[in-house]
Amino acid sequence: MKAMALVTMNFESAYLNSNHEISVILPDKPRTMTPREFFESGRKYKVLWLLHGTFGDHSDWIRKSNIELYACERDLIVVMPSALNSNYSDWPESMMGFNMFSYLTEELMPLIYNWFPASDKREDNFVAGLSMGGGGTIKYAVNHPDKFAAAAILSSCARNPHIIDMDDPNPRSKRNIVSVKNAGGLDAYINSYENVWDKLKELSNTGTLPRLYFACGKNDFLYNDFVSFRKYAESFNLDATFEEIEGYTHEWRFWDLTIQKALTFFGLDQKDAGNPF
């Protein structure tokens, strides 16, 4: 049986212009191996980049799901950054600059690949997230398809930027409107990395996209958006798996269930029963 190591790491980020905290789950030494055998093995592990939702941080998945157990069963590294409420976007005018979109690929990935026993091969890297983190997930999958073998978008989906109403008083629309302003206006937004709606269609038949898994609870307040996106994806035969599950809202019971489904979708099979004590 195996245990897992949990690292909480604080460092100064060049892209976020502040001290920044992440959590990393690492495979730990099996009790049948000596420390020297294990730590000097040179083995590189597969990596899941796991993104939190609005109001969350790097600790959410650890505190509210069983992700450590699922990682233990699969000998999997799990990397969980903190993104504030950034939409996983670059905000160059916020504070001294909080460039979350660029941070993950340009700073966090090099850090993890070079300071931890993590594989940098595309086939060994996966990205997943819930709600706002699901939006970040599809953004990374579409804009950096060379970095991820598969992606899981939980309780989220791509949204049509061509129908954004900049005068919409609905509080739910506020962050999208602010994101458009941050990009320099609607035209700039549509022509930026933010527009995954069009880019998905553009890349759908190229064979370059990661494998995609979308899941939403049927009682989720975002369910209608999910259905609209699924119909759009079907219109150009996007190669993706969609799953709707009865009885779930926007909740951790759903995300704990679907992250297990996502790991299976990724092809990350259980290797043992984990360490129960």
pLDDT of residue 210: 98
Number of domains composing the chain: 1
Take residue 61 and report the two structure tokens written for it.
């998945």
Rounded-to-10 torsion of CA 184, 164, 96, 90:
-90
Residue 138 lies in a domain: yes
Residue 85 lies in a domain: yes
**What does pLDDT average to over the chain?**
94
> Which of 142, 172, 136 is CA-nearest to residue 156?
136
57-113 pLDDT, tens digit per residue, is 999 999 999 999 999 999 999 999 999 999 999 999 999 999 999 999 999 999 999
pLDDT band at 214 (very low <50, low <70, confident <90, very high): very high
Pairing between β-strand 4-13 and β-strand 18-27 as defined by DSSP bridges: antiparallel
At residue 41, what are phi and psi to the nearest 5 degrees? -70, -25
Q: What is the CATH number of the domain that holds 99?
A: 3.40.50.1820
pLDDT of residue 276: 45
Residue 140 lies in a domain: yes
Residue 179 lies in a domain: no
**DSSP H helical segments within the chain, as ranges?**
35-39, 60-64, 67-72, 100-103, 109-115, 132-143, 174-183, 186-190, 196-203, 223-235, 252-265
pLDDT band at 272 (very low <50, low <70, confident <90, very high): low
Residue 128 lies in a domain: yes
Task: Name the helix (H) or strand (E) containing 4.
Answer: strand 4-13
Residue 143 lies in a domain: yes
Q: Which residues pair with 152 in a beta bridge?
A: 128, 213
**DSSP H helical segments within 131-248, as ranges?**
132-143, 174-183, 186-190, 196-203, 223-235
Residue 126 lies in a domain: yes
Residue ranges making up the domain that contains 94: 4-160+197-265
Residue 234 lies in a domain: yes
